[in-house]
Amino acid sequence: MPIDISKFDKCNILVVGDLMLDEYLWGEVDRISPEAPVQVVSIKNEDYAMGGAGNVVHNIVALGAKVIPAGVIGSGKNGQILLNKFKELGVDTAGIVQEPGRTTTKKTRIIASHQHVLRIDRETDKAISDPTLEKITRFIKDKIADVDVVLISDYGKGLITKTLLSGLISAAQKHKKVTIADPKGLDFSKYSGVSLLTPNKKEAALASGVDIVNESSLEIAANKILQNVHLDKLLITCGKDGMVLFEKNRSPYRVRAEARQVFDVSGAGDTVLAILGLAVASGVSIKNSVTVANAAARIVVGKVGTATVSKQELSLALKIVVGKVGTASVSNQELASAFKSDDNSLPSKYKDLPELPALIGKLKKKGKRIVLTNGCFDLLHVGHILLFSASKQLGDILIVAIDDNESVKTLKGPGRPVLHSKERVRILSALDSVDYVVVFSSRELEKLIEIIRPDVLTKGSNYTSEEVFGRELVEALGGKVVLIPVTENISSTRIINNIKSSRQD
């Protein structure tokens, strides 16, 4: 069946799992330490990302769906950073319990010139306390009737106990909800009753006691797991060899993966879990859901650090893979061809709001100075061109935020906009001075500013500083507002009125 990822927007996913904080220290190496034969990394930037179940949540948000996380963190600084990350994404944190005295899992990765030099882990695998178990169990039972799919992200950090799983699976079965679990550990019996289990090849080998060296031993391991654990389906992810779906008394369903340059496998399993959940929730068959997840995994391993997949990346990949039986290989040439042939696709300069946090993080890490300007930009004219050109000279990256159709109608009145937001995005993306284009609702401007944290916000000098909406927030975040001189007596409204007047004459 065709896969329409626009349906993801209507999905509601419950994610229960181990929440982690991923810290990235980016630097350069130009010498060896005189104290020991080790590299000296000169740190240039640092960044934080949500890891573990948090990365599953981030992937779901990036694809436009609603998500409800449930998990446990500590009450210290690292736990607060994680909470702030969730709030930046607009995710409700009511199901995240701060347990006093507990260590928030933090993984620090030191990266020099895109090479992973060292990882430092601070964590605990101590089982959650009884009060925490009670709070999370109650939260799950309160929410489960209203979600489409339940995802379980187990990293063995003390949350996903047999007791918690028993209550969760029982509640899911009662409400006829699909449960998909990414497991950890040697004993898979605690996952009995889930709809789909997604171990990688190494985990499947350890749990089954079978040394997986070829397709035959893979099948033996899978069948042993299916015999010992009450499961509907088992999906074993095999890295560069793709994925294999197993069901009792059925032939394995193999999804191949085309070899590609791998920069970082961090979070690839999180992406697979998130995409599987979204695809199933949107009504896609399990086999096609596996195909979608495989395409997403291929994309994310080509990125450095814990990363997400955008709607555009996934939609382009799916143009090729959907409909292929037993394979999900997508070449760069095929992706480029699909992009060129897609009349309805938006240019690569266009970014959804959920894509912005990751993009802004990368730009900030590179030390880029970001300029933001916003407006309706209905019917592009010379005044707009001058605004964009002058704005770009104030920084390295110019982001143009345009009001969505409903906002333009509210601001300008009936008959506006003349051009649909998609048309405006395509026109603006053709300008060399414009680096990225975002569509937003007027009521989201402050949220947009909080995400972008621009160094400069520009408007035309037909405004005063006091009239610039968002000025105080920009300045509070360390930026400034610059008014670009407007010398041309021209506007979209004036052009439209002239056209109307000429027609009447």
Residue-wise pLDDT for 150-180, tens only, equals 999 999 999 999 999 999 999 999 999 999 9
Whole-Å CA distances, 403 to 62, 355, 465, 467: 20, 17, 20, 17
The H or E element containing residue 165 is: helix 162-174
Give the pLDDT band (50/70/90) at residue 332. very low
Give me the pLDDT at residue 260, please.
Answer: 44
Tell me if the bond preceding 417 is cis, omega within 30° of 0.
yes
Give me the pLDDT at residue 300, please.
Answer: 63
Q: Give the residue among 256, 187, 184, 182 at the shortest CA–CA distance from 215.
A: 256
Give me the pLDDT at residue 230, please.
Answer: 92
List of long-range contacts for 466-470, beta carbons under 8 Å, 24+ apart = 469/445, 470/445, 470/446
Q: What is the distance between the alpha carbons of residues 267 and 390, in angstroms, rounded to a whole number?
A: 40
Q: Is 129 exposed, middle or buried (0-12, 13-18, 19+ CB in 10 A)?
A: middle
Give me the pLDDT at residue 6, please.
Answer: 78
Give me the pLDDT at residue 293, please.
Answer: 85
Whole-Å CA distances, 180 to 196, 202, 232, 252, 334: 5, 19, 10, 18, 31
135 has a pLDDT exceeding 90:
yes
204 has a pLDDT exceeding 70:
yes
Which of residues 379 and 280 earns the better pLDDT score? 280
Question: What is the arithmetic mean of pLDDT over 169-195?
Answer: 95
Q: What is the distance between the alpha carbons of residues 122 and 20, in angstroms, rounded to a whole number?
A: 10
Which of residues 267 and 405 earns the better pLDDT score? 405
82 has a pLDDT exceeding 70:
yes
Question: What is the arithmetic mean of pLDDT over 405-422?
Answer: 88
Give me the pLDDT at residue 448, please.
Answer: 92
270 is catalytic: yes
Give me the pLDDT at residue 325, please.
Answer: 37
Instruction: List phi, psi (to 5°) of 230.
Output: -75, 100
Q: What is the distance between the alpha carbons of residues 463 and 17, in angstroms, rounded to a whole number?
A: 49
Q: What is the distance between the alpha carbons of residues 409 and 424, in angstroms, rounded to a whole number?
A: 15
Pairing mode, if any, of strands 105-112 and 115-122? antiparallel
- Could you tell me the residue ranges of all domains in the chain? 5-28+43-341, 353-504
Q: Give the residue among 317, 401, 318 at the shortest CA–CA distance from 356.
A: 401
Out of 16-20, 282-286, 295-299, 332-336, pick the least confident.
332-336
Give the pLDDT band (50/70/90) at residue 307. low
The CATH topology of domain 353-504 is: Rossmann fold (3.40.50)
501 has a pLDDT exceeding 80:
no
Give the pLDDT band (50/70/90) at residue 312. low
The number of beta carbons lying within 10 Å of the beta carbon of residue 291 is: 30
336 has a pLDDT exceeding 80:
no
The CATH topology of domain 5-28+43-341 is: UDP-N-acetylmuramoyl-L-alanine:D-glutamate ligase (3.40.1190)
Give me the pLDDT at residue 333, please.
Answer: 43
Give me the pLDDT at residue 504, please.
Answer: 58
Cα angle 311-314-317, degrees, rounded to a multiple of 5:
150
Q: Work out the angle between the directed axes of helices 53-62 and 268-281 (0-180°, nearest 10).
A: 50
Out of 8-22, 237-251, 300-314, 469-483, pick the least confident.
300-314
263 has a pLDDT exceeding 60:
no
Give residue 87's Cα distance to chain centre.
14
265 has a pLDDT exceeding 90:
no
335 has a pLDDT exceeding 90:
no
Looking at residue 346, the DSSP 8-state letter turns out to be P
Instruction: List phi, psi (to 5°) of 16.
Output: -115, 120
Whole-Å CA distances, 141 to 99, 153, 171, 182: 20, 18, 6, 21
Q: What is the distance between the alpha carbons of residues 183 and 86, in angstroms, rounded to a whole number?
A: 23
337 has a pLDDT exceeding 70:
no
The percent of residues above 90 in pLDDT, for the chain, comes to 55
Question: What is the arithmetic mean of pLDDT over 277-292?
Answer: 89
CB 5 within 8 A of CB 314: yes
The dihedral over CA atoms of 393, 365, 54, 60, expressed in degrees to the nearest 10, equals: 40
Helices (H), 32-160: 53-62, 77-88, 130-143
Catalytic residue among 18, 148, 270, 435: 270
Give me the pLDDT at residue 398, please.
Answer: 96
> How high is the mean pLDDT of the chain?
85
Give the pLDDT band (50/70/90) at residue 486. confident
Out of 61-75, 125-139, 356-370, 420-434, pick the least confident.
356-370
Q: Give the residue among 53, 47, 48, 56 at the shortest CA–CA distance from 21.
A: 48
Whole-Å CA distances, 49 to 53, 86, 197, 448, 482: 12, 10, 26, 19, 32
Q: Give the residue among 149, 181, 175 at the shortest CA–CA distance from 14.
A: 149
